[in-house]
Amino acid sequence: MDVVFPWRKLMAGREMAGVQIVKQCREICHPDVKLKVIIESGELHKPDLIRRASEIAIEEGADFVKTSTGKVAVNATLEAAEIMLDVIKSSQQDVGLKVAGGIKGAHAALKYMALAEKIMGNHWINAQHFRLGASSLLDSLLAAIKGETEPGMSARDTGDY
C-alpha cells in the first residue's frame, strides 16, 4: 500500500497529521502488506523536513519510505536519498527505501545504489530494502546490459572510456 505523507501539513507545522495518516494506514494493512510512505521530498525543500517526515513514517510503521510520486517538479535527489537513508540507519528498524522519480539512466541508478551501499552496507542492497522506481529506466538498463552508451551520454559521462 502506498500513501502520500501530508507534506503540506508538515510544512505548516502540523506534523500530527502525518503521524495519524501513517498510523491509520499501518493499522488497516494486513501484516503481509508492505506500507510505503511517499515523502515527496522534492516538495519539502528543507533537509530537516525530509528528515522529520521520514522519522514519522518509520516511527509509525512504514516498511518503506519513498522519495516521490514522480508527479512533481522535483523528484528523487541524491541529497534527499542520503537523508532518508541516514534516518533508516538511525532507526535500527528493518525499513527499505524506494527512490522514485526522475531516474532515467543506468548511471544515475548506480549513484543511488552506491549511496545506499555506503550508508547501509552491501548486504542491504536487495529487493527487501532497496528499490528504484524506474519506469523510464528500462531502455537505459537494456542498453547498458548490451554494452551500449545511454541515450544522450558519451562514454566519458559513464566512466567507460
Can you tell me the mean pLDDT for 60-84? 89
Q: Which domains does the chain have, with CATH numbers?
A: 2-136 (3.20.20.70)
Whether 129 shows a pLDDT value over 80: the answer reads: yes
pTM: 0.85
Indicate which residue of 46, 66, 71, 157 is catalytic.
66
What cell does 72 get? 512533481
The answer to whether 111 is a known catalytic residue is no
Per-residue model confidence (pLDDT) at position 150: 54
The answer to whether 157 is a known catalytic residue is no
Of residues 142 and 127, more confidently modeled: 127
Indicate which residue of 2, 9, 23, 104 is catalytic.
2
Q: What is the tens place of the pLDDT at every residue in 75-127?
A: 789 999 999 999 999 999 999 999 988 787 888 889 999 999 999 999 999 99
Indicate which residue of 32, 46, 94, 98 is catalytic.
98
Rounded Cα distance, 77 and 112, in Å: 9
Can you tell me the mean pLDDT for 48-76? 91
Residue 132's SS3 state is: strand
Q: What are phi and psi of 100, to 5 degrees?
A: -140, 145
52's CB contacts (< 8 A; 6+ apart) are 10, 15
The answer to whether 98 is a known catalytic residue is yes
